[in-house]
Amino acid sequence: MSNSHLHVINHPFVIDSLTHLRDKTTPIFKFRHHSNQLCRLLFGEAIRGLDFKQCQIETPLAKIKSPKLKDEIIIVPILRSGLAMLYSAIDLLPKSKIGFVGLERNEKTAIANKYYWKLPKITKNNIVIITDPMLATGGSVKYVLDQISPQKPKEIRIVTVISAPEGIKLIHRKYPKIHIYTASLDKKLNTQKYIVPGLGDYGDRYFGTE
């Protein structure tokens, strides 16, 4: 799939951590470690191209002008598994505001149902980063995009660990200029709408639930 707005991050640590995440024998403490490491690198790539402002600072030796990030970032994890990515985002972007979106997928229809919605005020100065580790059908992310886009933020970006072609196509059919950052573009969805080869249920594996 050739797409200038899809960024598959091939950093060596991302590649290594993804193998650990896929392995069904990886214990929870290692899964969390590699998830946090991988997500931190994904967010590092996802903030490329943001605007800077020049600030006057003083080093131990001299006064200089030096750039700081200008854009105001809002991170929006899609509950529950999106929380697994939030810790790395806060480490990297501690000044960011956080919004929460609760969407639960119906296991029979694969349609997302909203049960929680709490976002900061979104303005034209905001970069909104939506996080969901598994971009499968794309329905949940598209739902959030449909709600946030009318508020006209400066830009919306998506950060996900694994993506399926079906989800990418759904998002870019309506939002062709949305940048998606992912560690892997996997083969397909199975009949249950799970990503193959994937890694199973991200939230269950990160939080230790079944």
Domain boundaries defined on the chain = 6-207
Marked catalytic residue, from 51, 91, 109, 173: 109
* 205 annotated active-site: no
Cβ count near 173 (within 10 Å): 10
pLDDT value of residue 34? 97
pLDDT value of residue 80? 86
pLDDT of residue 112 exceeding 80, the answer is: no
* 201 annotated active-site: yes
Marked catalytic residue, from 23, 51, 146, 204: 204
Structure tokens at 5: 């707005």
pLDDT value of residue 68? 82
pLDDT of residue 104 exceeding 90, the answer is: no
pLDDT of residue 1 exceeding 70, the answer is: no
* 204 annotated active-site: yes
Marked catalytic residue, from 22, 71, 80, 201: 201
Residue range 6-207, CATH number: 3.40.50.2020
| pLDDT per position as a tens digit, 7-45 | 999 999 999 999 999 999 999 999 999 999 999 999 999
* 23 annotated active-site: no
pLDDT of residue 86 exceeding 90, the answer is: yes
Altogether, the residues listed in the chain come to a count of: 210
Marked catalytic residue, from 22, 71, 80, 105: 105
Least confident piece of the model among 48-52, 77-81, 90-94, 168-172: 48-52
Q: Which residue has the tokens 């797409």?
A: 3
d(C-alpha 199, C-alpha 38), whole Å: 14
Question: Mean pLDDT over all residues of the chain?
Answer: 92
